[in-house]
Chain A
């Protein structure tokens, strides 16, 4: 342990910290200043940007002891500092006037959507406006080069920075340039700030990892070392004996149904017992410990005996009769679904064509790359927290796109009636279709029930990438017949969608792909066959638009 003295937002603190702590951890977890966000933990995304002695830094990799004696400014202190330096601010009755001009502009220009990137953007932009009040577009882009936003597309952010500069020069905040509405109503046709915008620009919006319960434990997940393997034995005794470790949970600890899912119940909460691990993201055990470090360190002490099975990682190969079968209890083998479109007489269509073009296309798997990695915090029924109050039910705080489906699946796995489970949908740092499946919700709920204490499960970026479903990789063979005048006579297509190890929303997505394979065109005939296949890859699902990208490319 080492002593650290620093000033944060004008307040001096002295703390005892482990020498390897990073500044972001001190701010977030020791001082409770959770406005500083963690997106990548490797100096790439800028979500963790704070200002130390006047310079912006990525606090995720900044050893906290580097801030010894330093003056640190975080998103929570920006408004207050502005008002102190500009006593006239806030006196004109404007309801945003107590905020820094950058914060005002981000609210009014719609530069904060999910908001997870916003604190980093405001801190980083502030360093530019501290230097110049007439920033050019190029200077703004240069300044924000390594600060990432996955929602806004940056246009509103750049215009906000310019607007804030103008406000600081002239005292007037220019409003965004929007096309006039034909007949504006009270709400429709108006540039309304989002209701949570002020919370998001001040760092007060609470994302799941920002909930810090008293006596909270932390979970870490052991995932399969193989894409396809039977779990013969799990020996957690060495991990359990480690200081700080409260429990190691496996499939045998799940009181209700082991399997969950959105369309099909095919996804075990833990691999083991009847269910093999079917991709490298499958969880095998959850360690629950006093600190995240203890939980993660304990993973190496769990012994798992695997029987490695042959893996199939290609959707075409998965259809062969020789392919290893992932879900032996399914009557259709590795075929998740065969989706068909039949229209007109395809033979006649090609016979009528002047030109026939036949091509094969491949589209890659696509990652959602939401800026906030998944986090679930479960609080046991009956827990009374000094900050968050009484919890009458088992409650899970999670940034989820479909909280009701979470409730159903958690209740199912825990063997509880649905009304015994409450999902608190927190503010979510981007989802884009990637936060619909179960991530840590079931594990956290189970761990909280077993230990009787709040339990947080936070994934880092690497773990998030490894386990969570992505957009399908596809193989598309498409044959199109056309007349010389441009009319289409026939489209024949065969699509293979790699749906990965579990159904998730795979078949829904591939159904869209199939029905959109002809594009927006009228034609005499069509014959489309889509095979959504199980493979030993990460499960696949939608990214933002229910697919269509891939077939769009082929048109």
Chain B
């Protein structure tokens, strides 16, 4: 049975959403297809009548700075993000997370929109965006008009592999704040060398330092997979922000809090819960010390 029978290449968001709404469950958006095509071939997703390609929509390909934000279109590829100077300057964690997705051939077609919409708690691009406190732009079609709304990234995840977008909705962009003085971010992951697309564990930190680099003014930490949806280590963030001084003991306490809060599981092809528990500490230490080192360059 063919996996799909019709393939649409709309050029505007309105056109894409109109087709998608018309077909309802019988159509799917496709961006790079690097998740979707394999899911369909492996029978994890039933065949559909139509695929609607979002990469033919010119407006979804931009990376721009607007109103104190870096805005990235949903159809921007990992390779484009990896090599973009604006993203490197303001969202290093995203540069680093998109830079390790798959190999070059996959990064040349896989998009940030597909990475997020696929809704896996360990997706690398998602973890990078989450640490940057990014917002997602969801566009909704009411039959006539498209209404685009910025909302917190976490609001679109419903569970592993499930987003809560309706048949008349799509992701059109992401944005995160440009860098403040003393702010920096970093991403790292632990990966099996071959054969599985997702990491054993990934983590990203985004810190804003105050007092000439001696305390943490703001922190966002993202870890995946550490729960059914991408995970923010809020307890650890709180500990970092509340402290009057940034030292090794503080990082240790933050790491313990993150280990405590993370909901880790054993997965057959990747790693045991116990191993992941240890790796939360290893990765957080790494991304925190890298962020601190980068942030202190501002002082």
Contact A57 B7 (CB under 8 A): no
With A18-B2, A19-B5 as given contacts, are A42 and B38 in contact (CB-CB < 8 Å)?
yes
Query: In the complex, which residues of chain A have a beta carbon less than 8 angstroms from the beta carbon of B41?
Result: 41-42, 61
- Bound-complex Cα distance A80 to B5 (A): 36
The residue from B2, B5, B37, B105 contacting A124, defined by CB atoms under 8 A apart: B105
Contact A56 B9 (CB under 8 A): no
Chain B interfacial residues counted at CB < 8 A = 26
- Interface membership of chain A positions 170-208, coded 1 if the CB is closer than 8 angstroms to chain B and 0 otherwise: 000000000000000000000000000000000000000
Query: In the complex, which residues of chain B have a beta carbon less than 8 angstroms from the beta carbon of A145?
Result: 103-104
Which residues between 63 and 88 of chain A lie within 8 Å of chain B, taking CB atoms? 63, 65-66, 68
Contact B3 A124 (CB under 8 A): no
Say whether A43 faces chain B, with CB atoms less than 8 Å apart: yes
- Bound-complex Cα distance A19 to B38 (A): 17
Contact B104 A297 (CB under 8 A): no
Contact A2 B104 (CB under 8 A): no
| Interface SS of A by simple majority | mixed
B296 nearest CB across to chain A (Å): 27
The residue from B4, B108, B195 contacting A56, defined by CB atoms under 8 A apart: B108
Contact B103 A61 (CB under 8 A): no
- Bound-complex Cα distance A63 to B195 (A): 23
A222 nearest CB across to chain B (Å): 16
Contact B102 A68 (CB under 8 A): no
Say whether A489 faces chain B, with CB atoms less than 8 Å apart: no
With A20-B4, A20-B5, A63-B51 as given contacts, are A57 and B105 in contact (CB-CB < 8 Å)?
yes
Which residues between 284 and 329 of chain A lie within 8 Å of chain B, taking CB atoms? 293, 297
Query: In the complex, which residues of chain A have a beta carbon less than 8 angstroms from the beta carbon of B3?
Result: 20
Contact B37 A146 (CB under 8 A): no
Say whether B66 faces chain A, with CB atoms less than 8 Å apart: no
Chain B residue with the shortest CB-CB distance to A54: B108
A504 nearest CB across to chain B (Å): 26
Contact B7 A55 (CB under 8 A): no
Say whether A49 faces chain B, with CB atoms less than 8 Å apart: yes
Chain A residue with the shortest CB-CB distance to B2: A20
Chain B residue with the shortest CB-CB distance to A17: B7
With A20-B2, A61-B38, A66-B55 as given contacts, are A146 and B103 in contact (CB-CB < 8 Å)?
yes
B32 nearest CB across to chain A (Å): 9
Contact A49 B1 (CB under 8 A): no
- Bound-complex Cα distance A66 to B102 (A): 20
B282 nearest CB across to chain A (Å): 23
With A42-B38, A43-B34 as given contacts, are A65 and B7 in contact (CB-CB < 8 Å)?
yes
B130 nearest CB across to chain A (Å): 25
A292 nearest CB across to chain B (Å): 13
Query: In the complex, which residues of chain B have a beta carbon less than 8 angstroms from the beta carbon of A124?
Result: 104-105
Say whether B96 faces chain A, with CB atoms less than 8 Å apart: no
- Bound-complex Cα distance A44 to B102 (A): 9
Chain A residue with the shortest CB-CB distance to B109: A57
Say whether B6 faces chain A, with CB atoms less than 8 Å apart: yes
With A127-B104, A146-B103 as given contacts, are A62 and B4 in contact (CB-CB < 8 Å)?
no
Chain A residue with the shortest CB-CB distance to B6: A19
Say whether B245 faces chain A, with CB atoms less than 8 Å apart: no
Contact A66 B105 (CB under 8 A): no
Say whether A143 faces chain B, with CB atoms less than 8 Å apart: yes
Query: In the complex, which residues of chain A have a beta carbon less than 8 angstroms from the beta carbon of B103?
Result: 46, 145-147
The residue from B4, B30, B79, B105 contacting A49, defined by CB atoms under 8 A apart: B105
Contact B7 A19 (CB under 8 A): yes
Contact B9 A43 (CB under 8 A): no
- Interface membership of chain A positions 477-505, coded 1 if the CB is closer than 8 angstroms to chain B and 0 otherwise: 00000000000000000000000000000
A102 nearest CB across to chain B (Å): 16
A302 nearest CB across to chain B (Å): 16
Of A57, A124, A142, most buried by chain B (CB within 10 Å of CB) is A57
Query: In the complex, which residues of chain B have a beta carbon less than 8 angstroms from the beta carbon of A293?
Result: 2
Query: In the complex, which residues of chain A have a beta carbon less than 8 angstroms from the beta carbon of B38?
Result: 42-43, 61
Say whether B106 faces chain A, with CB atoms less than 8 Å apart: yes
Query: In the complex, which residues of chain A have a beta carbon less than 8 angstroms from the beta carbon of B10?
Result: none
Say whether A437 faces chain B, with CB atoms less than 8 Å apart: no
A370 nearest CB across to chain B (Å): 16
Say whether A282 faces chain B, with CB atoms less than 8 Å apart: no
B43 nearest CB across to chain A (Å): 11
- Bound-complex Cα distance A141 to B3 (A): 35
Chain A residue with the shortest CB-CB distance to B50: A19
With A61-B34, A63-B30 as given contacts, are A146 and B6 in contact (CB-CB < 8 Å)?
no
B110 nearest CB across to chain A (Å): 9
Contact A55 B108 (CB under 8 A): yes
Query: In the complex, which residues of chain A have a beta carbon less than 8 angstroms from the beta carbon of B34?
Result: 43, 61
- Interface membership of chain A positions 122-148, coded 1 if the CB is closer than 8 angstroms to chain B and 0 otherwise: 001001000000000000001101110
With A42-B38, A43-B105, A127-B104 as given contacts, are A61 and B2 in contact (CB-CB < 8 Å)?
no
Contact B30 A146 (CB under 8 A): no
- Bound-complex Cα distance A147 to B104 (A): 9
- Bound-complex Cα distance A112 to B104 (A): 22
B28 nearest CB across to chain A (Å): 12
- Interface membership of chain B positions 211-241, coded 1 if the CB is closer than 8 angstroms to chain A and 0 otherwise: 0000000000000000000000000000000
Contact A65 B9 (CB under 8 A): yes
Say whether A58 faces chain B, with CB atoms less than 8 Å apart: yes
Query: In the complex, which residues of chain A have a beta carbon less than 8 angstroms from the beta carbon of B7?
Result: 2, 19-20, 63, 65
- Bound-complex Cα distance A146 to B34 (A): 14
Query: In the complex, which residues of chain B have a beta carbon less than 8 angstroms from the beta carbon of A61?
Result: 33-34, 37-38, 41
A368 nearest CB across to chain B (Å): 16
Query: In the complex, which residues of chain B have a beta carbon less than 8 angstroms from the beta carbon of A2?
Result: 6-7
Chain A residue with the shortest CB-CB distance to B30: A63
With A43-B38, A63-B30, A63-B33 as given contacts, are A58 and B5 in contact (CB-CB < 8 Å)?
no
- Interface membership of chain B positions 19-61, coded 1 if the CB is closer than 8 angstroms to chain A and 0 otherwise: 0000000000010011001100100000000010101000000
Query: In the complex, which residues of chain A have a beta carbon less than 8 angstroms from the beta carbon of B6?
Result: 2, 19
A141 nearest CB across to chain B (Å): 11
B83 nearest CB across to chain A (Å): 10
The residue from B1, B4, B105 contacting A297, defined by CB atoms under 8 A apart: B1
- Bound-complex Cα distance A63 to B52 (A): 12
B276 nearest CB across to chain A (Å): 24
- Interface membership of chain B positions 190-201, coded 1 if the CB is closer than 8 angstroms to chain A and 0 otherwise: 000001000000
B22 nearest CB across to chain A (Å): 17
Query: In the complex, which residues of chain A have a beta carbon less than 8 angstroms from the beta carbon of B105?
Result: 43, 46, 49, 56-58, 124, 146-147
- Bound-complex Cα distance A46 to B108 (A): 13
Query: In the complex, which residues of chain A have a beta carbon less than 8 angstroms from the beta carbon of B2?
Result: 18-20, 293
Chain B residue with the shortest CB-CB distance to A146: B103
Of B37, B38, B105, B108, most buried by chain A (CB within 10 Å of CB) is B105
- Bound-complex Cα distance A56 to B79 (A): 11
A39 nearest CB across to chain B (Å): 13
Query: In the complex, which residues of chain B have a beta carbon less than 8 angstroms from the beta carbon of A18?
Result: 2
With A19-B6, A20-B4 as given contacts, are A62 and B104 in contact (CB-CB < 8 Å)?
no
- Bound-complex Cα distance A127 to B104 (A): 10
- Bound-complex Cα distance A222 to B179 (A): 59
B30 nearest CB across to chain A (Å): 7
Known: A65-B7, A146-B103. 4 other contacts (CB 8 A): A61-B33, A68-B9, A124-B105, A146-B106
A-B contacts, 16 listed (Cβ < 8 Å): A19-B4, A20-B3, A20-B5, A20-B7, A41-B41, A44-B195, A55-B108, A56-B105, A61-B34, A61-B41, A63-B7, A63-B37, A65-B7, A68-B9, A145-B103, A146-B103
**B interface residues, Cβ below 8 angstroms from A:** 1-7, 9, 30, 33-34, 37-38, 41, 51, 53, 55, 79, 102-106, 108-109, 195
**A interface residues, Cβ below 8 angstroms from B:** 2, 18-20, 41-44, 46, 49, 55-58, 61-63, 65-66, 68, 124, 127, 142-143, 145-147, 293, 297
